[in-house]
């Protein structure tokens, strides 16, 4: 029996992407409805499964081509790679050879894979179980001839979970996504933030069938089904306030970032694949505080191509027009695998071989990158930043490789310059022993620093409350690193998500930080938060 659609229902969850939305309520039915058909010969069933796999790959590749950012492309590439992996598909083909129908063989084979991922100790692999379920359902729909239900633009979409590829297929246009499961740091949450789609995860359970309209407050983490006049009036008031805030942020966007008491704060931007630069005016920021090269270089071929890398870095340097640019060496591994480069099958990828640990296992590839960066350093003030540093010897090793690369370039009479070499502060061991490192500058990677300090994977929904960036231990570590940098007059910045979170700005300024690197979309919001803060005489000391 359906509930009374006129009765207002309010459900709360965890906000992961801010914003307001009102629209038709769509509750997704995640079951795959398989049509009954006559089973063919094993050869016909194998051909049917192969055709379904090919169609699924083609659809995902088309989504990749339409994606406007590297994060989305990397997520979809994982599914395409898995669909072409014989370890994934062979069990289904073997079952067909034994007489099974293609649908049954595919579903059963995928259930084994999904269970293995879901039960893995590593939360990264657990999070990828959602991608595997999406692959299973996508191929099953092709096999059965079923089609995904059309979702009108601007809808409020409620689901148990929402795989990235499904998210990318939906025309949000003022709509919102609400999930009963999910985590603030899942791939689909990152996509929602990047596209400005309001999103809530971990929504409390409630009966929503029968309701035709809903309101979502992505900032407060609230869904209101069948809103009454009072709820609608409150929504309209929030929209008016939000519009004023946006206008306020636009005003601050064009001016240098300055606190209420007149202190200047440097605000840089983070760059993923370079497409962001087409939508940002260099006059609105102080430069680039982070270039994520692992999102620019996706294959072993690209990693080994010095000329291609040099052209990429040159374009970025030319865009900066003489302002500083900090380029991070490859931070592959963890949730950013590169076939042939990263290590497969690690039990705990975030605590495994990633960042500089992986780079030093491939010194020739690192040297190629350092050569390209040294050449680009001639164009303007370029800095090289090394991720996941734990011990001083790691940074020392990279410095030796950089000096050798420059010496080789000089011998080859290739113009180059010596860039500054610095380190990311992500590992608590490095933060606690910061005085032991010979670094030209520091950049705090708050995402990993938080998860390593709190022993909470950023992919874990249940542990999200413990991953508070304002956790006292995290702020103390940040404060100690800033004090060391200031004492020795070394530049220090913060380039993680914390820098783009307006509620964290007072705390960061309070512990003495005066340089932030933020998501391009957060420039106005962060500058406005800086302008509202008045630094006390004892702050930052």
Domains of the chain with bracketed CATH: 9-28+150-243 (3.50.30.10), 42-144 (1.10.274.10), 245-532 (3.20.20.60)
**pLDDT value, residue 459:** 64
If one counts every other C-beta atom within 10 angstroms of the C-beta of residue 418, the result is 12
Over residues 49-55, mean pLDDT: 92
Of the candidate ranges 95-104, 327-336, 502-511, the one whose mean pLDDT is the lowest: 327-336
Helix (H, G, I), strand (E, B) or coil at 389: coil
Say if residue 34's pLDDT is above 60: no
**pLDDT value, residue 121:** 57
- Which range has highest mean pLDDT (97-106, 324-333, 415-424)? 415-424
Q: Please list, in sequence order, all residues whose beta carbon lies within 8 angstroms of the beta carbon of residue 57, skipping any fewer than 6 positions away.
A: 80, 83, 84
* Alpha-carbon distance values, 20 to 23, 156, 223, 248 (Å): 10, 11, 10, 18
Asked if 439 and 383 count as a contact pair (C-beta separation under 8 A), the reply is no
d(CA 494, CA 487): 17
Of the candidate ranges 50-59, 114-123, 210-219, the one whose mean pLDDT is the lowest: 114-123
**pLDDT value, residue 539:** 61
SS (H, E, C) 28-78: CCCCCCCCCCCCCCHHHHHHHHHHHHHHHHHHHHHHHHHCCCHHHHHHHHH
Say if residue 541's pLDDT is above 60: no
Query: Structure pTM?
Result: 0.73
Query: Of residues 141 and 156, which shows the higher confidence score?
Result: 156
pLDDT classification of 299: cutoffs 50, 70, 90 = confident
d(CA 235, CA 241): 10
- Supply 506's token pair: 């007072």
Query: Of residues 481 and 29, which shows the higher confidence score?
Result: 481
**pLDDT value, residue 71:** 67
Say if residue 540's pLDDT is above 60: no
**pLDDT value, residue 112:** 86
Say if residue 184's pLDDT is above 70: yes
Of the candidate ranges 122-131, 377-386, 515-524, the one whose mean pLDDT is the lowest: 122-131
Say if residue 409's pLDDT is above 60: yes
**pLDDT value, residue 38:** 73
Share of the chain above pLDDT 70, in %: 90
**pLDDT value, residue 123:** 54
- List the Cα angle 451/521/293 in 5-degree steps: 60
Query: Of residues 434 and 187, which shows the higher confidence score?
Result: 434
Helix (H, G, I), strand (E, B) or coil at 112: helix
Say if residue 225's pLDDT is above 80: yes
* Alpha-carbon distance values, 63 to 53, 157, 164, 274 (Å): 15, 20, 10, 19
**Taking all residues of the chain, what is their mean pLDDT, rounded to a whole number?**
88
Residues known to be catalytic: 187, 495
- Supply 4's token pair: 């009374």
**pLDDT value, residue 30:** 58
- Over the Cα atoms of the chain, what is R_g? 25
- Supply 474's token pair: 């995290």
- Which range has highest mean pLDDT (89-93, 419-423, 445-449)? 419-423
**Long-range CB contacts (< 8 A, 24+ apart) of 467-472?**
467/184, 467/185, 469/497, 469/498, 469/501, 469/504, 470/503, 470/504, 470/507
With tokens 């990633």, the residue in question is 354
**pLDDT value, residue 209:** 86
Share of the chain above pLDDT 90, in %: 57
**pLDDT value, residue 335:** 57
d(CA 5, CA 211): 5
Question: In the chain, what is the greatest distance between 2 CA atoms, to the nearest angstrom?
Answer: 81
Cα atoms in the 13 Å half-sphere on the side-chain side of 449: 31
**pLDDT value, residue 367:** 97
Say if residue 407's pLDDT is above 90: yes
d(CA 151, CA 363): 49
pLDDT classification of 3: cutoffs 50, 70, 90 = very low
Over residues 350-369, mean pLDDT: 91
């Amino acid at each position: 029996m359906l509930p009374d659609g006129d009765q207002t229902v309010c459900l709360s969850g965890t906000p992961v992407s801010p914003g307001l939305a009102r629209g038709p309520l769509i509750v997704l039915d995640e079951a795959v409805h398989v049509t009954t058909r006559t089973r063919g010969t094993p050869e016909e069933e194998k051909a049917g499964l192969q055709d379904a796999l090919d169609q699924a790959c083609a659809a995902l590749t088309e989504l990749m081509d339409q994606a406007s950012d590297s994060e989305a492309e990397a997520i979809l590439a994982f599914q395409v790679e898995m669909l072409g992996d014989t370890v994934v598909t062979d069990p289904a083909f073997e079952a067909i050879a034994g007489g099974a129908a293609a649908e049954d063989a595919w579903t059963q084979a995928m259930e084994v894979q999904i269970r293995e991922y879901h039960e893995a100790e590593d939360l990264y692999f657990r999070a990828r179980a959602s991608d595997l379920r999406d692959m299973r359902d996508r191929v099953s729909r092709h096999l059965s001839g079923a089609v995904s239900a059309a979702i009108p633009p601007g809808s409020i979409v409620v689901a148990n979970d929402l795989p990235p590829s499904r998210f990318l297929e939906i025309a949000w246009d003022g709509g919102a996504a609400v999930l009963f499961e999910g985590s603030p740091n899942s791939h689909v949450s990152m996509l929602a933030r990047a596209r400005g789609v309001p999103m809530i995860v971990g929504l409390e359970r409630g009966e929503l069938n029968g309701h035709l309209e809903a309101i979502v407050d992505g900032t407060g983490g609230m869904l209101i089904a069948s809103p009454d006049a009072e709820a609608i009036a409150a929504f309209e008031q929030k929209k008016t306030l939000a519009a004023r805030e946006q206008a306020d942020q636009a005003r601050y966007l064009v001016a240098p970032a300055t606190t209420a008491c007149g202190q200047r704060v440097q605000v840089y931007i983070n760059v993923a694949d370079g497409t962001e630069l087409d939508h940002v005016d260099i006059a609105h920021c102080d430069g680039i505080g982070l270039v994520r090269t692992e999102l620019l270089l996706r294959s072993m071929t690209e990693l080994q191509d010095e000329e291609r890398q040099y052209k990429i870095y040159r374009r970025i340097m030319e865009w900066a027009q003489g302002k500083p640019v900090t380029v991070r060496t490859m931070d592959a591994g963890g949730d950013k695998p590169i076939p042939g480069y990263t290590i497969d099958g690690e039990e705990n990828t975030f605590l495994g071989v990633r960042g500089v640990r992986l780079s030093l296992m491939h010194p020739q590839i690192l040297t190629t990158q350092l050569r390209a960066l040294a050449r680009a350093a001639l164009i303007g003030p370029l800095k090289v930043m090394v991720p996941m540093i734990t011990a001083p010897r790691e940074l020392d090793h990279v410095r030796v490789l950089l000096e050798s690369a420059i010496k080789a370039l000089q011998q080859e009479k290739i113009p180059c310059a010596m860039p500054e070499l610095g380190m990311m502060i992500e590992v608590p061991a490095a933060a606690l022993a910061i005085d032991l490192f010979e670094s030209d500058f520091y950049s705090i990677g708050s995402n990993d620093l938080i998860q390593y300090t709190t022993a909470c994977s950023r992919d874990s929904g249940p542990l999200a409350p413990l991953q508070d960036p304002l956790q006292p231990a995290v702020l103390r570590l940040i404060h100690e690193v800033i004090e060391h940098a200031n004492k020795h007059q070394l530049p220090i910045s913060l380039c993680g998500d914390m820098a783009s979170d307006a509620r964290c700005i007072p705390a960061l300024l309070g512990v003495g930080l005066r340089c932030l690197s933020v998501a391009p979309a957060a420039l106005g919001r962060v500058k406005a938060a800086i302008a509202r803060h008045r630094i006390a005489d004892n702050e930052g000391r």
